[in-house]
Amino acid sequence: MNNQELNSYLKKVINYSFDANKYFNDSEPWSVKKKDPERMKTILFTTCEQIKNISILLNSIIPIATNKVLETMNVKKENISINRINSLECFDHNKELKELNILFNKIEDDN
């Protein structure tokens, strides 16, 4: 991003989001809820961290949407920084998430 190679930067972050989505779907936290609640907590913790990181990485490009996500996750504005991205303290996993509405409306193709 520092070299203004935005297409490359976006591609890497989007791929990271695909990997996060695959991890969540493949791990199926809903299926381990009763038999292994600690595993479910680990999956949810990891997924939330990935969503937080993706939102921070995209914040300079789509700030309105990412700020909504980070606000839903109770991430304070002073923690929305690439310098703080690895800090586990910038996101309180013990707080309940706020409700989040749709971030982007689907655009219909008229062709």
Q: List the chain domain ranges.
A: 6-90
pLDDT higher than threshold 90 for residue 103: no
* Cα angle, residue 103 at apex, residues 102 and 107 outer, rounded to 5°: 90
> Which pair of structure tokens corresponds to residue 74?
């109770």
Closest CA to 69 of 84, 53, 81, 83: 53
Give CA–CA dist 20/6, Å, rounded. 21
CB of 70 closer than 8 Å to CB of 56: yes
User: For 57-88, how does the pLDDT look when each residue is reduced to its tens digit (9 = 90+)?
Assistant: 999 999 999 999 999 998 988 888 888 888 87
Q: Residue 109 pLDDT more than 80?
A: no
How high is the pLDDT of residue 39? 96
Confidence of residue 89 (pLDDT cuts 50, 70, 90): confident
pLDDT at 20: 96
pLDDT of residue 3: 67
6-90 placed in CATH 2.30.40.10:
no
> Which amino acid belongs to residue 24?
F
- Whose tokens are 């520092």? That residue is 2
